[in-house]
Every structure is written in C-alpha cells, then in structure tokens.
A and B are shown apart, each in its own frame.
Chain A
Amino acid sequence: MRGKQPFETVVSRHGATVLRVCRALLGAVDADDAWSDTFLSALQAYPELAEGANVEAWLVTIAHRKAVDLLRRSNRRTEFSRPGVTVDGALSPTTDDVAGPTSRDLDLVRSLAALPEKQRFAVVYHYLVGLPYREVAAIIGGSAEAARRAASDGVAKLRTAKGAAE
C-alpha cells in the first residue's frame, strides 16, 4: 500500500483549486487569507487523515468552513450577499481592470453572490471543483439529491440572470 503523499505535493496538486474556490466564494482579498488558513489547518490535521481519503474533497471541506466563518464574521459580506447591492470590488480582483472580466462576467459575479448560500456552495463545489453530489452533500449537509437540486436551482438562476443581462 502506498503511503501518504508529502504535504508539499498536496499543496502543489490542489493549491490552485482551493484558491479558485476561495475566490469564487469570498473575493480576492479574503481568498488569500482563507487559502492560507485552509492549508495551515490541513497541515496540522494531515497526519490523521485516513490513507486513501479524497484529499481534494477534504481540502474543499476545510476551505468551506473557513469561508463560512469569514462570511459570518463580516457585516460587509452580509450586505454584499444581498441582491441588488453593488459589488464593492472585493469579489473580483480585476473589477477596475480594463483587461478584466466583461460586464457579463461581473453580472455573473453579482448573480453568484446573490444566490442563497447553499446554492452558491453547491454550484461552486460541483461546477467549479467538479465534486460529485455525494461529496458536495457531505460538505454542505443534507442529501446528495438535495445538493443536486441546490446546484440545479442555482444554475437556473444564474442562467436567468445571464439571459436578462444579454
């Protein structure tokens, strides 16, 4: 049986995915903090992780908890997640960048932030990370079927928002 990978390998293999999750959920500035906190916690707990465990799902689970903590802690975020509130630039690092996302992308940023949390998490974990609904459910709670519904409802809303913007 193969032993556990060195943690450096875990960072190089999954660092990019975890950062994308943090950025999609929190925006660029908080994403860096969440990324560091996630990998620091993961490093601490790593020797106890079962061999053969899905390392990516495990990391996303930790990142999820960090993101939830950060979202709860900040009033700014509560306002921010309310529909119709102007994006303050925290979600996208390139808001002011002319070479950055197009207005349609920014609409998606707003739309994603406007989704109910459960749908937002389900969309990011299933569509961005590619985790199966079983793993998504283990992270956000509830059944795999509920996770599938949340992702599907979330995508439907994003689709509507996207359509309205076009």
Chain B
Amino acid sequence: MTSQHESAVTAGLVTLAPPPTPQELAVLHARLLEGAELAGLVDVAYRTLDTPVGVLLLAATPAGLVRVAYEREGTDAVLGELATRVSPRILEAPGRLDITARQLEEYFARRRRHFEVPLDMTLSSGFRRMVLGYLPNIAYGHTASYGAVAAAVDNPKAVRAVGTACATNPLPLVIPCHRVIRSDGVTGAYRGGAEAKRQLLRLEAAG
C-alpha cells in the first residue's frame, strides 16, 4: 500500500523534473565553460580533430599544447592520465585549441611544414625531454636514425632510450618523432601505429 503510493509520488517527481535533453545540457555546458574560463579554472582544455590519420585528441594548459593523442590510445585513458599528471580540472573547450587545429589541418593539406604553437612539456622530463627538444631539428621531409639522434644529444649509446623517448612523446606530430626511423630503414614503432607513421612520412616526402 505504502510502497504503491510512494512509487506514484516518485513517478510524479519524474514528471515534475524530467531528464533534461542533450540540447539543454549543451547550453548549460557552454555557460559553465564561459564562467570557468573567466575564473581561470580550466587547467586543461581539450577537443578532438578529424584527420587523415584518424581522430586526434588535442589538449592544452594555459602554458600551451600539452598532449596530442591518437585514437588508439583511448580518450578515457588519455584524459585520465592528464587528470592525474596535470590537473583534474579538465573541460572540453574547443576554442582554446582552434589555432592548433588549424595548423594541423594545414599540415595535412601540405600547406604547413612546422608548427607555431606554444608547447607545455609538463608530461616529459629528463633525457626524454632532451631528446624531444632535439627532434624539431630534423626538417620536414627528412628522417634520422635512432642512433643519429642519440649521437646528436651527446649520448651515442642511448639508442634504446631515444626509442623510448619517441615512443612516449606526449606531442606526436607537433614534435616530429615520426621522422626518427631505424638505421636499417624500417619505419619502426609509433604511438599512432606504424601505418600512421608511414602515412606521415609519405605525406612529407610528397611535399
């Protein structure tokens, strides 16, 4: 008896406050984002971008671009890593990544050979960061071997460590680790998959 009446009341409450539509929530999200940006509370902004090598996730802190991730890395895993290592104050905020997105589109259209956006290297440290700092010296359309990069950063024996630095590059594409290949000419591993790496090298070779 009581539970029957209670469920009637509960059903009434559902009518009273029905689940909001996705559009209503989108409007509120936009409003939240605006307030959060004004208050300086968006520590990490992100958006996705469709490209010839799949959907990329782009993330930036106020200091600069902090992460470029390939689809195969998984959105949840990438955002989870950012929450733990940078800040959990993460919101989808496409506007802050407009310039990066535009430059990537130009790159894929062969109208751009290097990127001009501020970078936040928070996710990289020590030797790996040093290796990544060197990589922009490998020009568009060129490649270098892991060994050559090791020698260039004054640590010729650290070939494997150079491989690790490239494999864990938080900013693939923008920091061109795809231009580092094995000395026998084999493309080698890549965060976006070997096929994506070959695709980028073909794109640049045609440029």
Contacts and interface: CB of A to CB of B under 8 A. Distances in A.
Interface of A: 2-9, 11, 15-16, 19-21, 23-24, 32, 35-36, 39-40, 43-44, 46-47, 92, 101, 104-105, 108-109, 112, 123-124, 127-128, 155, 158-159, 162
Nearest to B40: A44
B83 A6 contact: yes
Contact of B41 (A43, A105, A155): A43
A16 B44 CA distance: 23
Q: For chain A, what secondary structure do more than half of its interface residues adopt (helix, strand, loop), or is it mixed?
A: helix
Interface in B140-194: none
A144 B87 CA distance: 35
Residue among B13, B29, B31, B80 with the highest chain A CB neighbour number at 10 A: B13
A6 B16 contact: no
Interface residues of B, number: 37
A127 B13 contact: yes
Q: For chain B, what secondary structure do more than half of its interface residues adopt (helix, strand, loop), or is it mixed?
A: helix
A36 B35 contact: yes
Given A127-B6, A127-B10, A7 B28 contact: no
B20 interface: yes
B4 to A, nearest CB: 10
Given A24-B13, A47-B89, A8 B25 contact: no
Contacts of B87: 47
B5 interface: yes
Contact of A44 (B13, B14, B39): B39
